[in-house]
Each structure stands twice: as structure tokens, then as C-alpha cells.
Amino acid sequence: MSNVGIGFRKDFAEEFRNGSVLKPAFLEVAPENWMGIGGYWKKVFKSVAEQYDVYSHGLSLSLGGPDELDWDFLKKLKSFLKEYNIKIYSEHLSFAKCDNAHLYDLLPVPFRWDAVHHIAQRIKAVQDFLEQKIAVEIVSYYTPVAAEMSEVDFINAVVKEADCNLLLDVNNIYVNAFNHQYDAKQFLHHLNLDNVEYIHMAGHEKVAEDLIIDTHGEEIIEPVYELFDYTLGLLPKPIPVLLERDFNIPELAELQHELTRLENICSRYWRNTYATA
Amino acid sequence: MLLLNDTYRQQSNFAAYCRTGIYSPMTGVNEERLAHYPRLVFNVIDDTLRSAYPLTVDLLTEEEWDTTVRSFFATHKCSTYSVWKMPYEFYQFVLTLDNSLTEKYPFLEELLLFEWTEIEIHMMEDEQFPEVVSEGEMATDTPVLNPEYTILQLHYPVHLKNPNEIADTDKGEYFVLLFREQESGNVQFLDLSFYFVWLLRKMEHEQKSLFELAEEASDLFGVEQRFLLEKSLPFLTELRNKNFIIGYKK
């Protein structure tokens, strides 16, 4: 693999120490699950970090939330990124904490100008503190909340004002386009793709005729592969691509099949040019 | 903060709805779809707690478990950013309960504590292991303990019996040692008598040999030193075999 990595999970951690089925280009971890631990899992993590490039994808920072940023977390995060030489740190364009309570899920932010300024200011503060740009992910959502502008205008405005990178979750774009009845390709054309640093790919679950839930628990479906293919044609340069699979873990050969398929699509666009973080 | 009051209010209402299921007005939402959020958010909480507390899940009825978890998430503000640490907050929440559940299961708090402590010891940051010599004389040299351990003092034998079989007549004084094996990272636990707790604490803090401590214990407890030595040696040898005693002081 040259471009395509996989989310590192305890479910198949042993594969990266002793197995030979999965051959990702890199691994991605949620820092909240691997910071400040010891014992068996620290040994495992150290061991895989010596073998693979590791990228990090945060869950708790709540960039879109009203609560103060957690500076204690950010200090520990900075040490963690340095200790394991982690070059990419990404987070979500959502909120996960409100009124001093973590919710451990990604809630949609109101698409409003005051939210743009609020989030951009927070992203800039995080970037200044970490001394690196971060990438923000377009999240899936099932209903808008108090929206006063379009989703794409909101995302473009945040990325521009914060001068940050964008994490393009192609599955989320597909899910949102389906759920909110817009054209995913048109959305991509309106999105400013200059700052796209990273791509996520995943499966989802259709729970009603008009609703998809973003589960990361199924294989990627054909239309999402097609949208991925289309997306690569719009991007100016090779970037890392991640396969996310958080539960309902299949045989590892099936995951490798998905990695290979993604890699084959990448190589059609990026022949002999590899993604770098 | 650049967020307007109304935007904050919308987010606060959304978050509160996810935690409690109680709806307060939000602008422009699809209420049917909004209803998926409390379910999805609660599933994360419930799954995490079920993984952390399998014995407790087995003990409580489904209704008791569900009511307690829902009450926890609705009324407690989870403060940890690491979801795997959130079960400790659930334990703390149960400590604050004064209801029929803790009356029905008087050992519930200790069961939760025991289950959480296994996780905590398994995941705790690495301690510096002191340098030791591996060969020594158990009675006269100074044993060195694995620093990654804790001892719980309990009133019910949640570490010894199936929780479904614990009765009021089991109430007493129990001590359990939990430690993390250095090589494998596995957590082991061992039932201790009060005397062995005293002995291990002394060994750690005063770095004395069994022979010296048995002499002190003889005076303290009014038991013959020879008897204490005979009783302690097999126990300490077992701890050496289990690598809780990692060696002897240099």
C-alpha cells in the first residue's frame, strides 16, 4: 500500500504485530484512547508506531461546542503527537461536549455565521498551540439544527477563516447528500478542495427509505466507491486515504480487499506519486 | 465567546435532548430524525458500561441496569475526554444513590469498584520498576514488590463469589490485591488476610525482610514468630511465582 491506511483498533491489533493479512500504508488512532495509558496496550501501540506511520483523529475536542477548549487535554495531546512523531491531527466539525458534559458522539453544529467565527477562532487557537495545522472533518448529520446558511458555505467559511485543512469523509458526503437530498458531486464542486489533506472512507447503514446512519460497521457500498473515484479526479495532489471500520469487524481478508480496491482507485489518479503527510 | 446566545441555546437544548430525551424547542429540526440522536448517544454510553461492568450487568435485572444507566447519563455530567474512563464516573454516580437498588444489593458499590479497579490497573500508566536481584532468600532478604498494584478493602466477597450468590451472611472484612503482570500486562487478583496486607505494606514502605517483620508482628499481634514465618513463606513464595514479588533488594 502506498496511500491507503486503516483505523487501528484493539479488535485487530494483534494482526499488526504478528499477522500478514493487512498491509496498510499507515494507521490512524483516536488519541483519547491511547494517551496516558500503560501496560499491554502501551506496548502494543509502541510496537506498531515503530512499524507504521501513525495519524491521529480526535473525538473529544468539540471544536463546534460552546464550552471552553480543554487545555489540559491539548497539552497531553501535544506531547503524545511529539512522542510518536504523529504528523496529522484531525478533528470533527461538530460538537461533542456541552454544558460541561461530554456526550461521546458527534453532534451537528448550527450552520450560522457566529458559529463560523467561533469555530474558526478555536481552530486557530488549537493550531497555534500545537504548532501545526489541523484538518477538520465534514461530519454526517441527520437533521440540520438552527441553520441559517448552507452546509457547504459553512464548511468553506470555517476552513478559510481558520486557515486549516479539510478532512474529506467521502462516505459522510454521500450520507448527507442522501439524507438531505442534494447532489453529492455538486456539493464537491462547491467545496473548496485546495486544503484537503486527508480522506476517510467507510460503510454505513440505511435505516429507512430516506435515512442513512453513518455506522462504520459495514463494508463500503458501490456508490461511495464511485463518489470516491470522482472525488480523486477533483483533487490537486495525492493525499492519504483511510478505511474506517469501527465494529462488526469482518475477516481481515475482507478489510484488505477494501484497502486494495481503494489503493487501485488511487493509483489510477496518482500513478507513481505517493501521498505524504 | 463569539457564539451568540441563541446559537448556544440551540446547542444546549440539543445536548440536553441527547442526554435526557426531553425536548426543548430547536429551530428547523426534523423531529423524527432528531430522535435518532438520543438512541445513538445512549448506545455508546451503554456499550461502554456493559463492557466495563459485565458482573454487574449479570447481577442486575435488565430494567435495573437500564434505569440506572439512563439516570446516570441524564443527571451526571461526564467529565473525562477518554470514553474508557467514563465507567469510573458511573461508579462514583452509584455511590451517590440512596435508593432501593443499593438496598437490594448492598455490595453493588464494591462490585463496581472491583470491576473498575481491574480496568484501572490494566490501563494505568507504567510505573518505574526498581532494580532487583532475582535470586534471594525469602525469609532474610528484602522482597521487592511490583509497583503496579493496589489493595482494596471490602465488606463483601465480590472477588470470591458469584455476585448472584452473595448473601448478608457473607458480610465481613475482605482484602484483595490486584496487580498487573509486568510482562503480559494481565491483571491478577488475590484474596489477602489482614496480616498479609500489613506484611505487604510494611515490605513496601519499610523495606524489611520477612524475618524482621515476623518479629515485629509477633509483638504486635501476640503470635509466635515461628508460626508467622511458617504461614508467610508459602504465601510470599506464591507471590514470587506470580511475579508480584519481582525480586530482592540489591
The angle formed by the CA atoms of residues A43, A34 and A159, to the nearest 5 degrees, is: 140
The span from the first CA to the last CA of chain A, in angstroms, equals 15
Domain-wise residue ranges, chain B: 1-105, 128-250
The whole-number pLDDT of residue B1 equals: 73
pLDDT at A164 over 90: yes
Residues of B in contact with A37 (CB under 8 A): 123-125
User: Which class does domain B128-250 fall in?
Assistant: alpha beta
Using the Cβ of A143 and the Cβ atoms of chain B, whether some distance falls under 8 Å is answered with: yes
Interface contact A107, partner B, CB < 8 A: yes
Q: In this predicted structure, what is the pLDDT of residue A274?
A: 64
The CATH code for residues A4-269 is 3.20.20.150
Question: Cβ contact (<8 Å) for A39 and B123?
Answer: yes
Mean pLDDT calculated for residue range A43-72:
97
The reply to whether B12 touches chain A by the CB within 8 Å rule is yes
Cell (9 digits) for B146: 511490583
Do the Cβ atoms of A63 and A123 come closer than 8 Å?
A: yes
Mean pLDDT of A29-37: 98
The residue-averaged pLDDT of A147-175 equals: 98
Q: Can you tell me the ipTM of this complex? A: 0.94
Distance (Å, whole) CA A202 – CA A224: 9
- For residue A42, the chain B residues in CB contact (below 8 A) are 125-126
**CB distance A37–B37 less than 8 Å?**
no
Whether B8 contacts chain A with CB within 8 A = yes
Distance from CA of B91 to the nearest CA of A (A): 17
Q: Helix, strand, or coil here: A20?
A: coil
Task: Report CB contact under 8 Å: B15, A33.
Answer: no
Confidence of residue A276 (pLDDT cuts 50, 70, 90): low
Could you tell me the pLDDT band of residue A17, with boundaries at 50, 70 and 90? confident
**Nearest chain A CA: its distance from B26 CA (Å):** 7
Q: Tell me whether residues B11 and A100 touch, CB distance under 8 A.
A: no
Please name the residue of chain B whose CA is at the shortest distance from the CA of residue A214: B40
Count other Cβ atoms within 10 Å, centred on residue B63: 8
Q: Across all residues in chain B, what is the average pLDDT?
A: 96
Taking contacts as CB-CB distances below 8 angstroms, the residues of chain B near A70 are 81
Q: Please judge whether B148 and A115 are an interchain contact, meaning their C-beta atoms are less than 8 angstroms apart.
A: no
CA-nearest of B123, B34, B35 to B83 is: B123
Q: How far is B192 from chain A (nearest CA, A)?
A: 24
pTM of the model: 0.95
Nearest CA in chain A to B125: A38
pLDDT at A272 over 80: no
At residue A277 the predicted structure's pLDDT band, cuts being 50, 70 and 90, is low
Query: Distance between CA atoms of B143 and B209, rounded to whole angstroms?
Result: 7
Question: In angstroms, rounded to a whole number, what is the distance separating the alpha carbons of residues B36 and A142?
Answer: 8
Question: Over the stretch B153-211, which tens digit does the pLDDT of each residue have?
Answer: 999 999 999 999 999 999 999 999 999 999 999 999 999 999 999 999 999 999 999 99
Cell of B70: 439512563
Instruction: Give me the half-sphere count of Cα atoms (radius 13 Å) on the Cβ side of residue A270.
Output: 24
Q: Which of B8, B77, B186 sits opposite A100 (nearest CB)?
A: B77
Task: Please count the residue pairs, one from chain A and one from chain B, whose beta carbons lie less than 8 angstroms apart.
Answer: 146
By C-alpha distance, the chain A residue nearest B148 is A39
Report which of A203, A118, A175, A179 is spatially closest to residue B34, judged by C-alpha positions: A179
How close, in Å, is residue A252 to chain B by CA atoms? 23
pLDDT in tens, B197-240: 999 999 999 999 999 999 999 999 999 999 999 999 999 999 99
From the number of C-beta atoms within 10 Å of its C-beta (0-12, 13-18, 19+), residue B92 rates as middle
Q: Report how far residue A213's alpha carbon sits from residue B33's, in angstroms, rounded to the nearest whole number.
A: 10
- Partner-chain contact B29 A144, CB within 8 Å: yes
